[in-house]
Amino acid sequence: MRSAEPAGALDEELLLRVEGGDDRAFRELFARYAAVAHALAFRLVRQAQVAEEIVQEAFLAVWRNPERYDRTRGSVRAWLLGTVHHRAVDAVRREQAQRRRAEQAASLGPTVEDDPVDDVLAAIDLPRDRRLVRRALTELPVEQRDVIRAMYFDGLSQSQIAERTGLPLGTVKSRTLLGMRRLRASLEGLER
Amino acid sequence: MTRDHALIDELLAVRALDGLDDDDAALLARELAAHGDCDECRRLETEHAEVAGALPLALEPRPVDPGMVDRIVAEPQRVAGTAGATAGTSDELAERRDARLRRWQTAFGVAAAIALILAFVLATRPDVSVPSTLVRFEGESGEVAMAYTPGESGVFVWGNDLPDPGEGNVYELWMFEGGEPISGGCLSPTDGSVAAFVDADLSSAQQMAVTVESADCPDAPTTDPVFTAELS
């Protein structure tokens, strides 16, 4: 992925203004990422109210402590959406009904109706970034895609995936790494 | 000497997707600590984080409650909430964070353990801040301390010169809320030292304690505390 691109630079600029107490900058950052963050949280927790709470908590943390962002560890987008993902996964793993939901989610076949990797051909009219990420996921070898989808979009741990698929744990990890490397190469053109 | 990054690369990839189990998280912590200030580790971490951070873009955006942003900005900012505060550059922000970390690292006797655990947690959990409050435990032998930020989840715990808890035993951390003990997890010292990050919220805790327990980490203390601390 390219670094120091306009989108990433704008995000950093907005975050600096947020640190100065600029709520307009925060609102702009919120407008840029809240809906994606909400989609991610909902995809993981499958409960609208919980997903909204996760998004609100994550953005509240950004509003209160914008200085926690460290540009040497990646883009604002990666930091922000990573925070949402951490919180959503924590919620999933705390949830008493996690086992039942995970079993539904981890069939490792096609899952929810808007699965990001299922329908790239119908995605011609999508915004460029979404199309690019969907295509990158679709182009992964299926065994790598399934592991990454189960881990990231369904919130399963490496050992849960190994248990459910019967794969050795080492295979789950190696497929994850190979998939991540391939995705990185495919997403070179994505703005940070 | 060139260090091998194959294991770290694999574990960082899994961690970027939040799929790491506790034992592999501990293994990754040890590996990263062994590599120290390692540019290649940082590069791998950033690259995996960027890939993971791009994945949600594949999802169909889901609008949020239009009132949410108003509710958020109605909350006071903790750090820079005063109007007209100087934001500084990103480099300055990073420097402030590093300076806080350095102060913590040099402020206490068990600096190595603190540095290791702080550096690791801050590297792996971008949502965790450098703690603002230090609490030292009272005990007859050895020392235990913890650091946290009131109102936030996450507690750094470390100990030094701890007596061996005995064959098959561990130290267990307890938070007392209204007199009810809640386990903060078990700690196994190595050569009398231990450092750990506990993902717990102390907002409702009034006292802390450490007991010696069996390795199965019971849900309630079975022995008298060997360390205690009062939270103000």
Q: Which two tokens stand for residue A149?
A: 């989808």
Q: What is the pLDDT of residue B36?
A: 78
Q: What residues contact residue B201 under an 8 Å CB cut-off, 6+ apart?
A: B152, B153
Instruction: Break chain A down into helix, strand, coil percent, rounded to 5.
Output: 75, 0, 25
Residue A118 confidence (pLDDT) above 80: no
Q: How far does the CA of residue A187 sit from the closest CA of chain B (Å)? A: 8
**Stretch (H or E) spanning B147:** strand B143-148
Residue A29 confidence (pLDDT) above 70: yes
In terms of average pLDDT, the best of A72-81, A93-102, B148-157 is A72-81
Which among A30, A52, A71 is the nearest to B94, CB-wise?
A71
Q: What is the pLDDT of residue B1?
A: 41
Q: How far does the CA of residue B162 sit from the closest CA of chain A (Å)? A: 32
Q: Which of 83-122 (A) contact B at CB < 8 A?
A: 83-87, 89-90, 114, 116-117
| pLDDT digits 0-9 by tens, A119-175 | 444 444 558 888 899 999 999 999 999 999 999 999 999 999 999 999 999 999 999
Mean pLDDT, residues A20-42: 95
Instruction: Break chain B down into helix, strand, coil percent, rounded to 5.
Output: 35, 25, 40
Give the pTM. Answer: 0.64
Q: How far does the CA of residue B82 sit from the closest CA of chain A (Å)? A: 7
Q: What residues contact residue A69 under an 8 Å CB cut-off, 6+ apart?
A: A15, A76, A79, B90, B93, B126
- Confidence bin at A116 (pLDDT 50/70/90): low
Q: What is the pLDDT of residue B122?
A: 62
Q: What is the pLDDT of residue A167?
A: 96
| pLDDT above 90: percentage of residues in chain A | 60
- Three-state SS for B143? strand
| pLDDT digits 0-9 by tens, A37-66 | 999 999 999 989 999 999 999 999 899 888
Q: What is the pLDDT of residue A123?
A: 45
CB distance A191 to A7 below 8 Å: yes
Q: What is the pLDDT of residue A173?
A: 97
Which among B19, B42, B73 is the nearest to A151, CB-wise?
B19
Burial class (CB in 10 A: 0-12, 13-18, 19+), A72: exposed
Average pLDDT score, chain A: 84
Category of A16 on φ-ψ map: left (φ > 0), alpha (ψ -120 to 50) or beta: alpha
Backbone angles phi, psi at A79, to 5 degrees: -65, -50
Residue A111 confidence (pLDDT) above 50: no
ipTM of predicted assembly, 2 dp: 0.85
Mutation test of the interface with chain A: which of B47, B64, B101, choosing the one with the most A Cβ atoms within 10 A?
B64
Q: What is the pLDDT of residue B117?
A: 62
Residues of A in contact with B97 (CB under 8 A): 67-68, 70
Q: What whole-number distance in Å separates Cα of residue B224 and Cα of residue B129?
A: 33
CA max distance for chain B? 59
Q: What is the pLDDT of residue B221?
A: 86
In the predicted model, residues of chain B with pLDDT beneath 50 are: 1, 79-90, 93, 97, 100-101, 103-110
Select the more confidently predicted residue: A19 or A176: A176
